[in-house]
Each structure stands twice: as C-alpha cells, then as structure tokens.
Chain A
Amino acid sequence: MQLGFLVDLHLCMGCKGCEIACKVENEVPLSTWRLRVKYVDVGTFPETKRTFTPLRCNHCENAPCERICPVSALHYLDNGIVNIDKERCIGCAGCVMACPYGAIYIDPQTQTADKCTYCAHRIASSMMPACVVACPVEANIFGDLDDAKSNISKYIQSNQSNVQVRKPEKGTNPHHYYVGGGNVSLNPLASHRVDGDSLFGKITTLPVGGHH
C-alpha cells in the first residue's frame, strides 16, 4: 500500500475548510499549520484571477526530513506515510531546514517538530483524513496509489498530462499531486510576496517556539 494525495486545483475554491478541519482534528497550535491554503492573485486589473493552493506535507518517497532526523523521530509507515514520533524528537529542527516544501514546523507547545501525517490516526481506524471529509467540492482525493482501482489512481490516469508535483527537481518523489496547477501556484519563487500583509489585514508572527 502506498497512500497518496491529489488536489484538483480546478475544483478548489479557497474556502479553507480543509485548513480548519486539520486545525481542529490535530489540535494544531496558534501560529502553526499542518495544512494551509495559499491565495495568489495573477495578472493586472481587469485581467486578473485568483489561484488557491492547499499546501501540506508531500510524504516523499525519498524524504529529506527522514534522512536528516538524527533519532528516527521521522519515519516511514508501511502505508507510505512519513510519520513523526514526538516523544522521540529532540527538536534539532534539521527536518524543518531539510524540507523543500516548508511543511514542517516546531510545535510551540511540545517543542518538537510536527507536520501533516495524512491523519495517520484516522487512517488506522479506517477513516479518511479530516481535510478530505471537510472539502465541500471533493478537491482532495486520497487513496492507495498501488491500487489501480482507487479513486486517486483513476484520477491520475484520466489526467495524466496535467498531473504535477512540487519541485520535482529535488528528487524527493512526492506522493502528493496536483491537477490544474501552474508555475504560479506550485513555485513559491514565481510570485511576489510582501510578508506581513494579507488580504484581510496584518499577519501577526508569533515566535517559532523555544529560544528564538
């Protein structure tokens, strides 16, 4: 079994339902995120459009975070999930530095690394990840990549020419795919970013946690 995620960006409407469901399900502390939806506005008025991109851990086959972790706190599960053992983590933040997708953070409450686990605890109980359940348009497609009859495998088959991963040049082999993505939505360097400001007001940056 090789679990994977696919997000159809044609369907995503940026409601952030997945983001909230993840926060609630995993009790993600303030100022940190396992899953987030990024808005990027493209073009010049009146020819403009807005893209929405849900971003989470890619559960890479060749995960830099797993490789750099000195105590195997980050480890592969048999179903392909890159899981984290917070009791073992020493908080060196090597994984935060190694992840090319900015998907790992230091939990300010436990002082350990944390990230999306594809809701491994729910999967163990045969439930779908919280973000999948919450999505009103079924833009999140989750399943077994090794099973040709699974929804995700069928989706990939039917959208072969339009399936992308983030930063393929890093050689991480992500198990997280996007349909309908473009350079602007998948490449963080392809858009201007004025940190501290957002659509709805100023962003308050809380400390990363610990001694900083």
Chain B
Amino acid sequence: MAAHEILAATNAVVTLDVAIPGIVWPWLVTVNMWAKSIGTGVIFMLFMLQRTHPNSVSNLRLPIAITAFVFINIFLLFTLADLHQPFRMWHIFFHPHWTSAITVGSFMASAFLGLLTLLVFLAWKKNDETYDKVLLWTAILAIPVTLYTAALMAQCTARELWQMPTESAQMILAATLSGSATMILLGGNKLSYEAKKSLGVVLGLSALMAFIIYMSEYVFGPMKAEEVAAVMEYIKGDGPYTVMFWLGQWMTYILPMLLILLSRSSKSESILKLAAILALVGLAIVKHVWLIIPQLLPMS
C-alpha cells in the first residue's frame, strides 16, 4: 500500500515529536560537487581535444592545468569547510576505513591533485611530451574521482532517491557538461571554431542525456519506491523546490541544447558561450536541489 493510501485509510497524524533535523549536507556540498565536475571535466575535454584537434590545444596545456588545479582545490576546500571538525581531517589518512566512499575518495582526490600539480609544473617548463603522458593517467584517475561522490550518495541507505547507477551517470555527465562549457569559455582565440563545435556537441549531448535521466526519475521513480514518491512531492506541484528544480533543468539542459543547435545553424560563437554560461550556472542549481530534497524527508 502506498504512503498516500495509508494516510487516507488511517488518518494518522504525528501529534508529538521532536523537530525534523535541518539540512545536514548544505550548499557547501553543492559547491563541492560543482567544482569537482569542472576540475575533472576540463581534463576529460583536454584529453579528447588532444586526439581530435591536436593543433588547437597546444596553447591550452597550462591554462587547463591551472583551471583544473584551482577547481579541485575549491572542491577540497569546501569538503573541509563542510566538516564539523575540520582540524581532524588528517584522521582519514591515519585511521582510514576502506568501506567508506569518503575514505577512498579522499585518497584518490589527493593523488589527483598531485598529478594536477605535476601537470602545472610540466606545462610551465614546456615539457609537452611528459605532460601528455601524465595527462593520460590524470584523465584515467579523473573518472573514479568524479564518480566517488555517487558512491557516497549510494551509501546513504536512507536516501532512496540517490541510486548508484543513475547518480554515477549524472556525475560523469556533469563533468563532461561543465568541462566542455568551461573549455568553450576559456578557449578564446586559442581554440579553433571546429574544436569549439566539437565541445558544443559534447555539451549538448551531455545535457540531453542528463535531462533524460532526470525526467525518467521524475516520472517513473515514484512508481517504484514510496520514499522516492514522497521526496518527489518537494519538486512537484506547489512543492518548496519545484521552481528551483525547473529553473535548473531549463538553465542547464533545455536552453543550452536549443542554443547549441542555434549556434551551429548560425555559426555563432557568442550563442555557444551563452549556452556554456547557462549550463555552468544551472548545474549548481540542479545539483543543489537533488542534494537537498531527500534531506527534507522524516526518517523516523
């Protein structure tokens, strides 16, 4: 029997209880995920362009390495800021518990930051040959680094909305979407129009696939689990996050897809840049809504 049927049958009302706990993982975690998507995404895109448009990226080695370095540091900074005991962060490295996605992620993110530091150094020294070899391993490590947050969300047994297959897909798509958007904006005169067009295709397809997954969960998720159905009420009808949810979907996915089609027909780089800006800003909104809504549900 679904929750709403039980409610109608019993007319049960909680008349005395403690307050529902507030938001435990707040906007700091949103920034964490958003910055990590950009930090790993630009590495994916640089790796792709190196194979498809090698001449275009020769001047982008240093700017992309610095961008990834900065955004991964933002990600780590906000991870630290979200801890209630940030000065005990070192416990993770000296008392690691390997069943936790937080532990595994911390070690991988630290190694990733080490490789990014090396990339910045190699680009500064103009040692392109070694840079390209290190980039391969950095791109490979970027995959689990961007995925581990999905594993962490999946370990939250209480939050049915965060299913591992969909969250892992969304994390990778967020990285390719934000990475391509950042590259379009950073490319300037250094990237050829053809390279930007390729990035636009990645951006558009990432937006399309992520949008399909969200809509699938929106429509079919409630048919599978009563907790998902209850959580979805926060983004349906007069729900407190309905406006923010749809604002995010339009800004991140629908409008960029349309703008990319328009930019291809009109060969306009300005429209492509507008799509990139909307996708980057919108991604933070989308991530925030998906992070917050399962936390509104009473667990007991």
Residues of A near any B CB (own CB < 8 A): 31, 33, 36, 38-44, 50, 55, 64, 67-72, 88-94, 96-103, 105-106, 111-112, 166, 170, 172, 183-184, 187-196, 198-200, 203-205, 207-212
In this complex, the interface size class of chain B, counting residues with CB under 8 Å from chain A, is: 35 or more
What distance in Å separates the Cβ of A67 from its nearest Cβ neighbour in chain B?
A: 5
What distance in Å separates the Cβ of B41 from its nearest Cβ neighbour in chain A?
A: 25
Q: A40 touching B13 by the CB < 8 A rule?
A: yes
Q: A184 touching B12 by the CB < 8 A rule?
A: yes
CA distance A208 to B25 in the complex (A): 11
Q: Which residue of B lies closest to A188 (CB)?
A: B298
CB within 8 Å: A-B pair count: 198
CA distance A184 to B7 in the complex (A): 9
- Judged by a CB distance under 8 angstroms, whether B97 is at the interface is yes
List of A residues within 8 angstroms of B227 by Cβ: 189
- Given A42-B11, A211-B28, the answer on whether A70 and B92 have CB atoms closer than 8 Å is yes
What distance in Å separates the Cβ of B134 from its nearest Cβ neighbour in chain A?
A: 28
Partner of B7, one of A69, A192, A200, A208: A192
Q: Which residue of A lies closest to B90 (CB)?
A: A90
Q: In the complex, which of the residues B28, B227, B299 has the most CB atoms of chain A within 10 Å of its own CB atom?
A: B299
Q: In the complex, which of the residues B13, B22, B26 has the most CB atoms of chain A within 10 Å of its own CB atom?
A: B13
- Judged by a CB distance under 8 angstroms, whether B163 is at the interface is no
8 further A-B pairs in the complex, CB-CB below 8 A; given A70-B91, A189-B226, A211-B84? A38-B17, A38-B300, A42-B12, A64-B155, A90-B86, A92-B82, A193-B298, A210-B84
- Judged by a CB distance under 8 angstroms, whether B3 is at the interface is yes
Q: In the complex, which of the residues B16, B22, B100, B230 has the most CB atoms of chain A within 10 Å of its own CB atom?
A: B16
Q: In the complex, which of the residues B83, B97, B102, B300 has the most CB atoms of chain A within 10 Å of its own CB atom?
A: B300
- Judged by a CB distance under 8 angstroms, whether B189 is at the interface is no
- Given A92-B83, A191-B10, A212-B22, the answer on whether A50 and B157 have CB atoms closer than 8 Å is no
Q: B15 touching A41 by the CB < 8 A rule?
A: yes
- Judged by a CB distance under 8 angstroms, whether B266 is at the interface is no
Partner of A192, one of B14, B84, B86, B89: B14
- Given A71-B95, A188-B300, A189-B230, the answer on whether A97 and B19 have CB atoms closer than 8 Å is no
List of A residues within 8 angstroms of B155 by Cβ: 64, 67-68, 94, 98
CA distance A204 to B18 in the complex (A): 9
Q: A205 touching B22 by the CB < 8 A rule?
A: yes
CA distance A27 to B18 in the complex (A): 17
The 3 closest A-B pairs by CB, nearest first: A91-B84, A102-B299, A191-B12
CA distance A147 to B97 in the complex (A): 32
- Judged by a CB distance under 8 angstroms, whether B20 is at the interface is yes
Q: Which residue of A lies closest to B5 (CB)?
A: A190
- 22 CB-based A-B contacts, threshold 8 Å: A38-B16, A38-B17, A42-B12, A43-B10, A44-B11, A67-B155, A72-B97, A89-B88, A90-B92, A93-B25, A94-B100, A97-B156, A98-B156, A102-B298, A106-B84, A166-B300, A170-B157, A189-B6, A190-B3, A192-B14, A204-B19, A205-B19
